[in-house]
Structure 1
Amino acid sequence: MTAGAATVPAQAGTKNRPAPVVTRAGLDPALVAGRGAIVDFLEQEAENARTTGTVIGPDRTAYTLPAEASGRRAVKLLPGQHVEFTLPKAANAITVRYSIPDAPNGGGITAPLDVTVNGKARKTMTLTSEYAWLYNQYPFTNDPNADLLHPDWWITECGCVPAATTPFPVISKPFRPMHFYDEQRLLLGRTYRAGDTVRLTAPARSNAAWTVIDLLDSQLVAPPKVRLLAANVLAFGADPSGRRDSADAFDRAIAFAQRTRLTVYVPPGTYQVNRHIIVDNVTIEGAGNWYTIIKGREVALDEPAPDGSVHTGVGFYGRDASDGGSRNVHLADFAVEGDVRERIDTDQVNGIGGAMSDSTISRLHIRHTKVGIWFDGPMDNVRVTDNVIVDQIADALNFHTGVTNSVVSNNVIRNTGDDALAMWSERTANAGNTFSRNTIQSPTLANGIAIYGGTDNTVSHNLVADPVREGSGLHAGARFGAEPFTGTLRFTDNTVVRAGTYELNWNIGLGAIWLYALDRSIDADVRVTGDHYLDSTYNAIMLVSEWSVKDLWSINGVHFKDVRVDGTGTSVVSGRVAGSASFENVDARNVGAVGVNNCGSFNFPPTGSEFTVVDRGGNDGGGAGGPWLAPWLLPNTITCDDRPPVVAPPAPAPW
């Protein structure tokens, strides 16, 4: 059982079955109360279930299956083995997060997974690795046998710049495998009771050498929604079997709905759509995202589009902001399933895109697109709520350029290939936005939530778990050409668990929250209040600048208050920049190294570090080395240990 996980009492008649263990992001739900999305499913980690397979992990080393698993552990099944879950509540549907091997030369395979309930009613899921398994350097490749994509880049593994190395360095292949997991949903065909058992079996006939099961979500899905007074896409020629392309039928239904002020209704079915559907002043509703699936192939364009795209694919797009954008768009209750298997940054192959002001995106399920939702502003007042966005090649959502007064709330995000949620103020500042009560799990690259410049934005009550590489849980970065931070940036009442990842290029560990001055100084009012940083792999808090600009930029005006740090592999605070930060009522325990690792900007003047720690009182606790904020550390004692030994902390527990 995962430390701190919650057991749900078994129901009557199930006394010989173990009580199910329910978690949220691999933790006891009591440890994350009030943080993250409120959802209608219950999460069960495979390592807490009964199995004839092998538990793998824990491991936080990038390029490994456990590192990308929720809670950093999973169950590996060989053909003929199974894992069995006990339902904690009545359910008629499950979601399985899994991994199977790639094909030897890339491109993925398919393999069966048998599902039985109480030993009966067998259904077979067809698992795939066609949307998983990326390799090599950014922007990655599907070819496990590829040579270096960038022969002149620094290679941490050999500590060299290959173009300057003689002989040319030999890399092990596949080089840097990642993005191992995918997930699938299954309607069970009837409602089962709490205490019934769901067994997942990798059958002996499987062509997969192994099948890894990470977790199972179970839920009771409501019947399909029906809207009678609507522009029903079937009346305009849409094909719910998915055999014919329905894009033109969607266009006709939208045009009719705009004239008549009706809602476009998409009944249960799978609809093939292989291009963008342009939406403006329209409401489109499905029967529920388990029933209405809009699915498309990625299509190569004969010549690049004006925006640089070389492919198109399924997606709902507002008009371009340069054309005035779209308004009054409302999308709800359907699934968008793309066909994106590689990262091409110029491609517009996102689930939702364009500019949409005064709009809502609700209760969608989006997977296998490049970015689930990418908004190019300027635009104002969009609400993105109650969605599930999984298995993306890049971000789950990005507010790019001048998105204002908008909210992203109560969404579940897993397995992104870049920042899960981002605000990127390129050219025009994002302002007055809030990311709140979202649950983010296992971003394989970059951060859970990242804010790049902007004015008066808020990140609150989110739950971020298990970032893997070159990023961490929460991030504020003066980088990527973003406009400066102005006004107040707030991080409030978030929980970050098993974060503080390894930064590949610097060869150091990051903080669970980290602020980074690369393009300019950060001197706005940054307030971090009420956050919990649990089981941080390295530091809990990091303030840092790039070596090449360390004497140009600083970070000032950052205030930490009422923060809890439960377990760090190294320090509570790592200062690797000039500037200052204040701390008030920051309580810490199970600290692996000195509480403050103060390197400043690495000039080591006799007057002390260029980074100043301000003690505003109430900073308690620490680790084996004593109080984390001991008086001798103040205000700027140099305590620089570039790569201190990592001491794995115990699992989080009630405070």
Structure 2
Amino acid sequence: MSKAALTAAIAAGVVLAVGAAGTAYAKTPTPKPPLGTRAALDPSLVAGRGASVAFTEQEAETAATNGTVIGPDRTAYTLPAEASGRSAVRLAPGQWVEFTLPKATNAITVRYSIPDAPTGGGITAPLAVKVGKTTRTMTLTSHYSWLYNQYPFSNDPNAGLLHPDWWITECACVPAATTPAPVITTPFRPSHFYDEQRLLLGKTFAAGEKIRLTASSAAAWTVIDLLDTELVGPPKIDLIAANVLLFGADPTGRRDSAGAFDKAIAFARKTRLKVYVPPGTYQVNRHIIVDNVTIEGAGSWYTIIKGSQVALPAPAPDGSVHTGVGFYGENSRNVHLAGFAIEGDVRERIDTDQVNGVGGAMSDSTIDGLYIHHTKVGLWFDGPMRNIKVTGNVIVDQIADGLNFHVGVTDSLVQNNFLRNTGDDALAMWSEKTANARNAFDHNTIQTPVLANGIAIYGGTDNTVSNNLIADPIREGSALHAGSRFGAEPFAGHLRFTGNTTVRAGTYELNWNIGLGAIWFYALEKDMAADIQVVGDNFLDSTYNAIMEVADWPVKDLYSITNVHFKNIKIDGTGTSVLSARVGGSASFENVDARNVGAVGVNNCGRFNFPATGSEFTVTDLGGNDGGWLQPWMLPNTITCDDRPPVVAPPAPATW
């Protein structure tokens, strides 16, 4: 599909799904799910996986509407592809989508997209919210969405290439070195279309009530992806604490309260009290430094700490050119943050900037029950540090990662968090220079990371990824990933991927022009020889492959991936293969059941040297592998290489 066609598809909401090499195919409509879904699936298909959350998620495409359903479509740079379940509802001015409340509700979250301004920067538009006889207004904005161009992206839809010397897949060229020079249509590679807003309704409405969202004429169109409905309890009150109001904080948000927070923290440390932040919106435009302190709000719906991104007069020693709201440790310990929202103002990606919701180093600490929105990274930790527990948080609409353990984070836990619409890896452990060790990412839900992976492990020792639900990664990454890249320390000891479920993963890799696996292993800078166990995982409706092991072409004869073991796996639907091997090495399979496989079960290219002795990648059958996907493709190490096999869209996942 041409870039012009993709641009037209965005404007019109074309209903397509993508296959190999950008070809389009029709997909069988998904059966109507129950009233509340998880990652656009019947909850019974993902029982025991992912985060336990207070809200019920409903997909707009299954609600009543006089608008137009767009999708399903997995073509990057289109509105349906970035929607949960790869489908949404497009409303013209005056059109509506109507949901039925599944439970008693007094608060909603709407995930939506509206157009950008013609020159970038975004617009605002009201959305009418009617429940029963009550009508409220939610203000939608595209100030924090719509990025363009090449990494690290631009806010200008009319900008030329950021890197004219880079390979461009759309024209199979290096523009600066191509004669005649290719024409790149603008806006080039639009992405990050969606945002979300929360609204307290002011009263509780019973299950069964209808809630109607009606688009205004202030936007040419409004796309509604989903609605989250929730019954929020009363605000938490703490009378025995250092209340920030007593130190001059302004709950109306008109005055900057950063100094008041500093004073309250200093007092609380001396008196061994907690810091309490009562209901209100507090303006904070810089980092709050925390050490040996507990800061609690009245709940993330009531206590909102909000700041603007501020340009620094000169770059900071760490390279930052901006500051903004965030809670940072400086080799701190015994920090406990809970029960408030952090609302940032980050609208562009500048990788040197420390404009994250929570950052620095804080050992023996807890982060619980925060809502982190519109920061660069929700939580970015630079070790060495140990024993941090990040639990029960909602991290959405980030310009980059959701959470990153970067450099020497050990003995730590990330559990029961919900992440949606991150601009890079949702959860990552990056062992740059110093290994991360003995950490666990457990029972988290990740939806629609726009770029890169749901969960990515870059080197490290004895780490575990367990019981997570990862849905709808968009491009240049997938659901689960382990890679020797980005200068990471080697994998050592063991790495465990256990009990995870992925859905609609196995994405298109723009730079290679091939499909990835829902889980993929990548040897770029070193061999991967640690004990890697993939046990009890379910891979559902993978766009391309369920599993991929790969090396980059320039190093294909240098690095191998060995000692990877798959056991007790269920694979329901692949567009192409169960396993795509594009590297030297080996893997074993035991009790791996697969059905609805679109191409040859094992696509074994090895190192692409095709020796007469067979592939340089050896597949070992340990028995119990049902579905006919493994035999006769693996004995002894059969070459079955199809570089870009055709895609066959599988049926919707069903109970095994």
Q: Same fold (TM over 0.5)?
A: yes
Task: Work out whether 1:76 is the aligned partner of 2:77.
Answer: no
Task: Work out whether 1:102 is the aligned partner of 2:116.
Answer: yes
Segments of 4+ moved more than 4 angstroms = none
Q: Provide the rounded CA distance (Å) in 2 between the counterparts of 1:391 and 1:559.
A: 35
Task: Work out whether 1:284 is the aligned partner of 2:290.
Answer: no
Aligned match of 2:522 in 511, 516, 531? 516
Q: Provide the rounded CA distance (Å) in 1 between the counterparts of 2:29 and 2:381.
A: 38
How far has the Cα of 1:121 moved from its partner? 1.2
Partner of residue 52, structure 1: 66
Cα deviations across residues 257-289 of structure 1 (Å, max 9, x unaligned)? 000000000000000000000000000000000
- Alpha-carbon contact 2:601-2:633 (below 8 Å) kept: no
Partner of residue 429, structure 1: 435
Task: Work out whether 1:547 is the aligned partner of 2:553.
Answer: yes
- Alpha-carbon contact 1:3-1:652 (below 8 Å) kept: no
How far has the Cα of 1:167 moved from its partner? 2.0
Partner of residue 176, structure 2: 163
- Alpha-carbon contact 2:620-2:634 (below 8 Å) kept: no
How far has the Cα of 1:168 moved from its partner? 1.8
- Alpha-carbon contact 2:110-2:228 (below 8 Å) kept: yes
Aligned match of 1:310 in 321, 326, 339? 321
Partner of residue 13, structure 1: none
Report SS of the residue matched to 2:139.
Answer: strand
Cα deviations across residues 91-115 of structure 1 (Å, max 9, x unaligned)? 1000000000000000000001000
Alignment of 1:368-407 (within 5 A): 368-407=374-413
Cα deviations across residues 168-212 of structure 1 (Å, max 9, x unaligned)? 211011000000000000001001100001100013xx2100000
One-letter identity of the residue aligned with 2:345 = D
Q: Provide the rounded CA distance (Å) in 2 between the counterparts of 1:471 and 1:85.
A: 33
Q: Provide the rounded CA distance (Å) in 1 between the counterparts of 2:138 and 2:292.
A: 39
What is the alpha-carbon root mean square deviation over aligned residues? Answer: 0.8
Partner of residue 191, structure 1: 204
Partner of residue 61, structure 1: 75
Aligned match of 1:452 in 458, 462, 472? 458
One-letter identity of the residue aligned with 1:148 = L
Tell me whether 632-641 or 60-69 shows the greater mean CA deviation. 632-641
Q: Provide the rounded CA distance (Å) in 2 between the counterparts of 1:121 and 1:302.
A: 48
Partner of residue 224, structure 1: 235
Cα deviations across residues 504-551 of structure 1 (Å, max 9, x unaligned)? 110000000000000001000000000000000000000000000000
How far has the Cα of 1:161 moved from its partner? 1.0
How far has the Cα of 1:3 moved from its partner? 3.6
How many residues of Structure 1 are paired with residues of Structure 2 in the alignment? 629
- Alpha-carbon contact 2:33-2:62 (below 8 Å) kept: no
**Structure 1 residues 366 and 2: CA distance shift in structure 2, 3 A:** farther
How far has the Cα of 1:631 moved from its partner? 3.0
Q: Provide the rounded CA distance (Å) in 2 between the counterparts of 1:530 and 1:157.
A: 38
One-letter identity of the residue aligned with 2:645 = P
User: Which ranges of structure 1 fall in alignment gaps of 5 or more residues?
Assistant: 8-20, 320-324, 622-626
Aligned match of 1:408 in 404, 414, 431? 414
Partner of residue 11, structure 1: none
Q: Provide the rounded CA distance (Å) in 2 between the counterparts of 1:229 and 1:111.
A: 42
Cα deviations across residues 465-507 of structure 1 (Å, max 9, x unaligned)? 0000000000000000000000010000000000011101100
Q: Provide the rounded CA distance (Å) in 2 between the counterparts of 1:594 and 1:146.
A: 42
Q: Provide the rounded CA distance (Å) in 2 between the counterparts of 1:419 and 1:273.
A: 27
**Structure 1 residues 541 and 492: CA distance shift in structure 2, 3 A:** same
One-letter identity of the residue aligned with 1:218 = T
How far has the Cα of 1:162 moved from its partner? 1.2
- Alpha-carbon contact 1:6-1:29 (below 8 Å) kept: no
Report SS of the residue matched to 1:253.
Answer: helix
Cα deviations across residues 382-423 of structure 1 (Å, max 9, x unaligned)? 000000000000000000000000000000000000000000
How far has the Cα of 1:632 moved from its partner? 4.5
Report SS of the residue matched to 1:79.
Answer: coil
How far has the Cα of 1:5 moved from its partner? 5.6
Partner of residue 641, structure 2: 640
Aligned match of 2:187 in 140, 165, 174? 174
Cα deviations across residues 312-337 of structure 1 (Å, max 9, x unaligned)? 00000000xxxxx0000000000000
Q: Provide the rounded CA distance (Å) in 2 between the counterparts of 1:210 and 1:486.
A: 51
How far has the Cα of 1:2 moved from its partner? 7.3
Aligned match of 2:269 in 242, 253, 258? 258
Task: Work out whether 1:628 is the aligned partner of 2:641.
Answer: no
Aligned match of 1:298 in 294, 309, 315? 309
One-letter identity of the residue aligned with 1:381 = N
One-letter identity of the residue aligned with 2:108 = I
How far has the Cα of 1:6 moved from its partner? 4.5
How far has the Cα of 1:649 moved from its partner? 0.4
Q: Provide the rounded CA distance (Å) in 2 between the counterparts of 1:373 and 1:634.
A: 46
Q: Provide the rounded CA distance (Å) in 1 between the counterparts of 2:256 and 2:103.
A: 39
Report SS of the residue matched to 1:445.
Answer: coil
Task: Work out whether 1:363 is the aligned partner of 2:376.
Answer: no
Partner of residue 472, structure 1: 478
Partner of residue 651, structure 1: 652
How far has the Cα of 1:633 moved from its partner? 2.6
One-letter identity of the residue aligned with 2:338 = A
Task: Work out whether 1:274 is the aligned partner of 2:285.
Answer: yes
Partner of residue 582, structure 1: 588
Q: Provide the rounded CA distance (Å) in 2 between the counterparts of 1:375 and 1:164.
A: 40
- Alpha-carbon contact 1:4-1:27 (below 8 Å) kept: no
One-letter identity of the residue aligned with 1:594 = V
One-letter identity of the residue aligned with 1:589 = R
Aligned match of 2:360 in 351, 354, 363? 354
Report SS of the residue matched to 1:457.
Answer: strand
- Alpha-carbon contact 1:296-1:313 (below 8 Å) kept: yes
One-letter identity of the residue aligned with 2:171 = C
Cα deviations across residues 135-190 of structure 1 (Å, max 9, x unaligned)? 00000000000000001000000001112101221101100000000000000100
Report SS of the residue matched to 2:260.
Answer: helix
Q: Provide the rounded CA distance (Å) in 1 between the counterparts of 2:183 and 2:32.
A: 44
Partner of residue 252, structure 2: 241
How far has the Cα of 1:598 moved from its partner? 0.2
Alignment of 1:566-605 (within 5 A): 566-605=572-611
Aligned match of 2:102 in 69, 80, 88? 88
- Alpha-carbon contact 1:2-1:48 (below 8 Å) kept: no
- Alpha-carbon contact 2:602-2:633 (below 8 Å) kept: no
One-letter identity of the residue aligned with 2:272 = R
One-letter identity of the residue aligned with 1:34 = G
Q: Provide the rounded CA distance (Å) in 2 between the counterparts of 1:172 and 1:57.
A: 23
- Alpha-carbon contact 2:111-2:196 (below 8 Å) kept: yes
Partner of residue 503, structure 1: 509
Report SS of the residue matched to 1:541.
Answer: strand
Task: Report % sequence identity.
Answer: 79
One-letter identity of the residue aligned with 2:375 = T
Partner of residue 123, structure 1: 136
Partner of residue 50, structure 2: 36
Q: Provide the rounded CA distance (Å) in 1 between the counterparts of 2:632 and 2:535.
A: 23
Report SS of the residue matched to 1:355.
Answer: strand
Partner of residue 531, structure 2: 525
Give the TM-score of the pair, scaled to structure 2: 0.95
Q: Provide the rounded CA distance (Å) in 2 between the counterparts of 1:635 and 1:75.
A: 50
- Alpha-carbon contact 1:46-1:214 (below 8 Å) kept: yes
How far has the Cα of 1:449 moved from its partner? 0.1
How far has the Cα of 1:612 moved from its partner? 0.3
How far has the Cα of 1:636 moved from its partner? 1.0
- Alpha-carbon contact 2:541-2:652 (below 8 Å) kept: yes
Cα deviations across residues 195-244 of structure 1 (Å, max 9, x unaligned)? 001100013xx210000000000010000000000000000000000000
